[in-house]
Amino acid sequence: MQIEKLDHVNIRTTQLDNMINWYSHVLGMKTGDRPNFPFPGAWLYSNDTVMVHLIGIDGPEGIGSEAYLKLEHFAFSASGLNEFEARLNELKEEYRRVDLSAVNLVQINIWDPDGNHIHVDFAADE
């Protein structure tokens, strides 16, 4: 068996609408087909590939969320670094750029409305 790529990330949130809007506006994803699960949520796509599953949870601590569930970050590979930085600046979205020339990579670190850390990776020589 060989792992080929990350298929998707599943995120539980008490801010479903805000999260859908953020992933749509900041990362350019679009909502798409999702099975008829008995709970609220959305699947977000880049082109025809589902990337992020959002699950709406309720209550003061979010029924269905584990109190200590933590994920440090997840990452996407992308192209169009200059366009992406321009979009972030236009949206006044905070980000941190890390140039990793030793591995020919530029990371753009961002945080969604729930505080999840995401980095979008670009080839440094693009």
**Nearest to 12, CA basis, from 64, 49, 48:** 64
CATH superfamily name and code, 9-58+74-123: 2,3-Dihydroxybiphenyl 1,2-Dioxygenase, domain 1 (3.10.180.10)
Distance separating alpha carbons of residues 30 and 44, to the nearest angstrom: 5
Token digits of residue 109: 């670190």
The DSSP line for 58-126 is: -TTTTTT--TT-----EEEE-S-HHHHHHHHHHTT---EEEEEGGGTEEEEEEE-TT--EEEEEEETT-
pLDDT at 95: 98
pLDDT tens-digit series, residues 54-82: 988 875 555 555 555 567 789 999 999 99
pLDDT in tens, 83-113: 999 999 999 999 999 998 888 999 999 999 9
Instruction: Give the confidence band of 17 by pLDDT, cuts at 50, 70, 90.
Output: very high
User: Minimal CA–CA distance to 15: which of 111, 94, 95, 112?
Assistant: 112
